């Protein structure tokens, strides 16, 4: 039967539904891109594909709320390995200026494949530089081939070094051109329907690389078009100091003044939000993409996620760019989020289940996708299967082992009911050929710097 799959005999299903049910020895029936039935003893329709899930933990597909897919070409660049945010950017901008559409397409495919193997079914991406004819659809086409649900954002930089910004002048764009291209990609690729495989957002890069006018105009444009807004905010002490020096206020006040709060806005990082900013985000329903591994890698600090959650701020997880992480595993990100809150607030500050909630329904909600991130009838058929019988999880007593022990790679992954990963291998592209192409590009880029 076309479009029907029965996932059968799962050891446990962590539904993340409204009741947070955990079902043992249970099944899930997928039909035409949605979950048709979930529970024990689900009947198998004639002609359905059957996936045996004995020994597996089944979870909703994980959700990545912040990435820079173009950066998988620049992992572990030596000069930037030990730098803080601003110094790291200044090291990498000259390399990124040599990127082409082929670079960005291939880099996006590698990053999305890596995410898929870590259980991710929905990815938001932030592409904010466009050298050499690069366009946002270079990433959109990559996501279509890999098979992930995609939420690309049209990023931008308009204030170069000569005008007091951080990026080199060669990487900034005219603000009128930025807004025109936002309209082009929204009109050409945004699909607002439930179950959409591609939704486009508007995402000026950061307060230190665009003007106040562009931030304000972008917010007006996004709301006129009915799309979401995204940017970096309060990532580290340098970021906050820049805001105080240039704008005379903290980042949260700057965002509020320019219309950058509300349930249609999510900010990346927010490591340095203070109590008043947390209260503002809670009152306005403004979302936060927490990127713990990148925050550790760049020495930015520990985001106050416990305080945010307690205040009611919507929080999801992001792997951030693979030049600042340098990995792209969403399950590793969930583990790191849990561990960092425990370092900051004590061993009971965040449980494995709460971290998995951030990685699933928490992320889906801040992306405006309540049909994703949970397993329940009528929700999208985005499902991850984790084999708990291997060495990483052997001896485990509880599903908390998903983050406390392992595994780190999915056995199976379904997106909109389509099998993207089978037996730990991607089904949609030739991974060996893809990695070889990426590595050849890296070797050629090394010759330019």
Name the residue ranges covered by the structural domains of the chain: 4-60+374-426, 62-366
Q: How large is the average pLDDT for residues 255-260?
A: 97
What confidence score (pLDDT) does residue 2 get? 59
pTM of the model: 0.97
Residue-wise pLDDT tens digits, 43-64: 999 999 999 999 999 999 999 9
Residue range 422-442: average pLDDT? 97
Intrachain domains 4-60+374-426 and 62-366 with the same fold: no
Give me the pLDDT at residue 378, please.
Answer: 98
Pairing of strands 149-156, 62-64: unpaired
- Determine the average pLDDT of the residues in 278-305: 97
For the domain 4-60+374-426, what is the CATH superfamily, name and number? Urease, subunit C, domain 1 (2.30.40.10)
Domain 62-366 has CATH 3.20.20.140: yes
What is the arithmetic mean of pLDDT over 398-409?
93
Q: Which two tokens stand for residue 225?
A: 């078009």
């Amino acid at each position: 039967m076309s479009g029907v799959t029965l996932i059968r005999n799962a050891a446990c299903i962590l539904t993340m539904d409204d009741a947070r049910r955990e079902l043992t020895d249970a099944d899930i029936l997928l039909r035409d891109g949605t979950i048709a039935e979930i529970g024990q003893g689900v009947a198998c329709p004639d002609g359905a594909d059957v996936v045996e899930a004995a020994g597996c933990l089944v979870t909703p597909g994980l959700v990545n709320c912040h990435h820079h897919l173009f950066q998988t070409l620049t992992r572990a660049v030596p000069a930037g390995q030990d730098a803080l945010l601003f110094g790291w950017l200044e090291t990498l901008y000259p390399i990124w200026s040599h990127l082409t559409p082929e670079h960005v397409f291939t880099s996006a495919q590698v990053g999305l494949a890596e995410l898929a193997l870590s259980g991710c079914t929905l990815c938001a991406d932030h592409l904010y530089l466009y050298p050499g004819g690069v366009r946002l659809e270079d990433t959109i086409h990559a996501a279509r081939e890999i098979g992930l649900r995609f939420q690309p954002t049209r990023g931008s930089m308009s204030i170069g070094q000569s005008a007091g910004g951080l990026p080199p002048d060669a990487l900034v764009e005219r603000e009128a051109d930025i807004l025109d291209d936002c309209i082009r990609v929204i009109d050409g690729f945004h699909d607002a329907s439930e179950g959409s495989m591609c939704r486009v957002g508007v995402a000026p890069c950061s307060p230190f690389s665009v003007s106040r006018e562009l931030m304000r105009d972008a917010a007006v444009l996004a709301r006129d078009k009915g799309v979401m807004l995204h940017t970096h905010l309060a990532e580290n002490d340098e970021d906050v100091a820049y805001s105080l020096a240039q704008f005379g206020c903290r980042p949260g006040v700057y965002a509020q003044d320019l219309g950058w709060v509300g349930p249609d806005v999510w900010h990346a990082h927010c490591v340095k939000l203070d109590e008043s900013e947390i209260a503002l985000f809670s009152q306005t329903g403004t979302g936060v993409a927490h990127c713990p591994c990148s925050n550790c890698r760049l020495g930015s600090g520990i985001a106050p996620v416990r305080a945010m959650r307690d205040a009611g701020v919507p929080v999801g997880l992001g792997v951030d760019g693979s030049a600042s992480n340098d990995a792209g595993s969403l399950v590793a990100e969930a583990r790191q989020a849990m561990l960092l809150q425990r370092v900051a607030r004590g061993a009971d500050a965040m449980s494995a289940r709460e971290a998995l909630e951030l990685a699933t329904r928490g992320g889906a909600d801040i992306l405006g996708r309540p049909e994703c991130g949970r397993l329940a009838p009528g929700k999208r058929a985005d499902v991850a299967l984790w084999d708990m019988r291997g060495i990483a999880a052997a001896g485990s007593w509880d599903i908390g082992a998903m983050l406390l022990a392992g595994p780190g790679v999915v056995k199976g992954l379904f997106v909109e009911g389509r099998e993207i990963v089978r037996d730990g291998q991607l089904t949609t592209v030739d991974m060996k050929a893809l990695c070889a192409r990426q590595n050849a590009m890296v070797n050629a880029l090394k010759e330019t710097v």
